[in-house]
Every structure is written in C-alpha cells, then in structure tokens.
Amino acid sequence: MSAIKIGSTYTHEVCFSQEQVNAFADVTGDHNPIHIDAEYATKTPFGRCIVHGFLAGSVFSKVFGTLFPGEGTIYMSQEMRFMAPVFPDTEYRAVFEVEETIPEKHRGVVACRLERISDGQICIEGKARILHREKL
Amino acid sequence: MSAIKIGSTYTHEVCFSQEQVNAFADVTGDHNPIHIDAEYATKTPFGRCIVHGFLAGSVFSKVFGTLFPGEGTIYMSQEMRFMAPVFPDTEYRAVFEVEETIPEKHRGVVACRLERISDGQICIEGKARILHREKL
C-alpha cells in the first residue's frame, strides 16, 4: 500500500549561512571565489556571494532521504535548472509534488523547486526520480 | 575567440573519504544513515556506506567553477542519473566532453560522468549547461 500518490506534496524551509557555504567549499573542494570571497563577489553580476548550486540543491536529497519519502529512498536521478542565485542568510522553501508513480516498480517522479520565501522567486527548478519499496 | 570547442574533453580524479561524507552530512543536514552509519549500511543493498549523490556530483560543479572552463562560469543546469553507488575511499574519475556550443550566447552543453577508476563502472551520468563569457 503506497503512502505517496500522484499529487502528494511536501514543503521544507531552509536557510544557508555563509559559514555553511564556506564549509561546503572545504568539503567539496569547490573554492570558486564567487561563493566565498565577498570582495570578488561584488564585481560579479550577482553583487554578493552566492550559495553553491549543489549546496542549495542538496535540500532535495536531504528531504528525499530523511523526510519525504524518508529513510530507504533510493535516488535514481535529479535534474536542476539554476534560474536565479541563492544567497546566504536568506530564507527559502523547497516544494515537492509527485507527478507520476509506477507502483509495481515502487518508483516516483517528483517535481521539485527551491523558491525564495520573501517574494516567491524560483531559484532552482527540477525533477527527481526516486524509488522507495514501502512508500511508492 | 572561444577556447572550448565541441569535442573538447577534460578529466579530473577524485576520492571521497568517510570523513568528507560525514562533514557533508553535517553541512547539508542530510544525515540519511546510509551515508554515515556503517552498521545500518551493512543491511542495505549496498552493503556499506555510500557517498551522497550530491557530494559525488559536486565534482562537476567544482570542475566547471574552478578548472574547466574555470572562474567566471555560470552554471545553468545539471542533470544526474545515479547509475551505481559511489563508495568512500575509492578512486573515481570525472570525465567531461563538450557536446554543443552556442558561441553567440557563450553557452555550452557538456556531457559529464563519474566513473570508478578500477573497472570503469559509470556511477553518475549527466549533462550540464554552462555559460562562460570568455571561454565559450
């Protein structure tokens, strides 16, 4: 019996500090100065440091693996389109909607996006394919 | 004058330690036990801890932003299909090939994959769209 159906939705709020961005740069080795050098960042089109797309997008993975559907999820694919910069110390909301399920294979296709809470600006838009033996 | 053409390739070797995986879990909040709890992981189909897909995939972002094309890259999109687990303390190679360029827009489409060096097993396969005003 699948708990997650077509049309099921989930939301999760998230905020990335500059300290998290710096730590992400260290753990991944991605020291692109646009993320960690405030003076450099002022000369870019964004005007200030931006969160790594993979740190911002990791909220999708965190939600799938720990919240919705949660433990036991197998991640099959993720698409992300980076539509607008994600800034540190700013509140965002990850929004999920199940678009398709294949119950006999326990698979689902989930639309996911990251939007800025203050004005609804969509920053990342994408789609994931996941597998969960009990919930899909 | 674009430095990067259709058919340009780039490779970058990478290895993720369990300590990096633990640090990634802390910075992203993704504490799915399959990544960080060795005893739990032995009961999963993978038999041992696996690297977060977003940590493994972050090598694509690191290469684009710091090596190929390098500083000044704007990341437009990334698709990733997780084909096989990525294990800690194992050597992988990220392989990039430029499939398409749109010189008047300074954009490129780059096929990228992460393969295990020992046997060539492809673990992540995907495609990125990037923009670089000088190199594309």
Partners of A79 on chain B (C-beta within 8 Å) are 77-80
A30: in domain: no
pLDDT 10s digits, B43-89: 998 999 999 999 999 999 999 999 999 998 999 999 999 999 999 99
Provide the token pair at B83. Answer: 């084909």
The pTM of the full predicted model, rounded to 2 decimals, is 0.95
pLDDT 10s digits, B97-113: 999 999 999 999 999 99
A100: in domain: yes
Nearest residue of chain B to residue A46 (CA atoms):
B74
A3: in domain: no
Domain that holds residue A99: 9-15+53-131
CB pairs under 8 A between A and B: 93
Nearest residue of chain B to residue A125 (CA atoms):
B77
Question: Going by C-beta distance under 8 Å and a sequence separation of 6 or more, which residues neighbour residue A115?
Answer: A92, A93, A95, A121, A122, A123
CB within 8 Å: A58 and B76: no
Domain count, chain B: 1
CATH number for the domain including A123? 3.10.129.10
- Interface-testing mutation among A77, A92, A129, with chain B (most B C-beta atoms within 10 A): A77
B94: in domain: yes
Is A78 part of the contact surface with chain B (CB cutoff 8 Å)? Answer: yes
Let me know: does B61 contact B88? Beta carbons within 8 Å. no
